Amino acid sequence: MTIIKNNYFSGERPLYESRDIELRNVTIGEGESGLKESRGIMADHCIFEGMYVLWECEDVECYNCHFAASDRAPVWYTRRISLTDCTLDAPKAFREIDGLTIERMQMTDGAEAFWRCRDGQIADLRLENGHYPFFQSERLSISQVWLIGKYAFQYTRDIEIHNAFLDTKDAFWNSENVTVYDSELKGEYLGWYAKNLRLVRCRISGTQPLCYCDNLILEECSFAPDADRALERSTYRIS
């Protein structure tokens, strides 16, 4: 593996098609597609400022890295990527990702984040300003997520969530096979048109939740006083 330390790169595709490299204290500055179509990348304490830095990549590990606000759409069309103790200020992060692992990450701009991501595990995520996060994502296991935004988890499939705080309007619309455990769910119109949505020991607040659901299951859940007109036109079971 080639090791690159304490360096700065900028411009168009400075490390394009890299293979088996270790980046330590490296900054990829202004420009586009810094590591596009690279394979076998390990980045530790790196800063990514240029746009589209990790597109069409495979087997990427990031530790203690920062994705700046200027790094628009930083990770798309990538297979097998893990991020640990990273911060991300860039919008439109994570699109069409297969094999995503996240542990301890903060995101200040969750606009259109995690679209069509598949087969992943996410633990300890704080996501702010999320508009349509996790749209059409599938087969994700998520725990300890704190999410503020709108329209989260729409059209998702086969999702399991534990110990979450979700303050998001229109969450889980048209979702299928989603289970949420031990979580607080706030926002208007929760779960409309969902199929096989299961909520276990959840606290639900916000107007008109869980309407037009098919095969909704509620286990040991509670509703806040503002959760009016709940369960209209839904088929459900409560235990």
* 215 band by pLDDT with thresholds 50, 70 and 90: very high
- Answer with the one of 90, 122, 157 that is the final residue of a domain: 90
Give the global pTM.
0.96
Copy the structure tokens of residue 51.
């746009």
CATH of the domain at 56: 2.160.20
* 160 and 194 housed in the same domain: yes
Total domain count for the chain? 2
Percentage of the chain beyond pLDDT 90 is 100
The residues that bridge with 205 in the sheet, in sequence order, are 186
pLDDT of the residue at 201: 98
Q: What is the average pLDDT across 44-64?
A: 98
Give residue-wise pLDDT tens across range 176-200. 999 999 999 999 999 999 999 999 9
Q: Residues 71, 94: contact at Cβ < 8 Å?
A: no
- Is the domain of 81 the same as that of 150? no
- Say what the pLDDT of residue 1 is: 86
Shared domain check, 220 and 119: yes
Q: Indicate if 168 and 195 belong to the same structural domain.
A: yes
DSSP string over 176-196: EEEEEES-EEESTTTTTT-EE
Q: What is the mean pLDDT of residues 120-135?
A: 97
> What per-residue confidence (pLDDT) applies to 98?
98
Distance CA 83, CA 124 (A): 11
**Do residues 39 and 124 both lie within one domain?**
no
Is the same domain home to 236 and 139? yes
Sign of CA dihedral 50, 52, 56, 60: positive
Long-range contacts of 169-176 (CB under 8 A, 24+ apart): 169/206, 172/197
Instruction: Please say whether the beta carbons of 229 and 208 come within 8 A.
Output: yes
CB 136, CB 114: distance < 8 Å: no
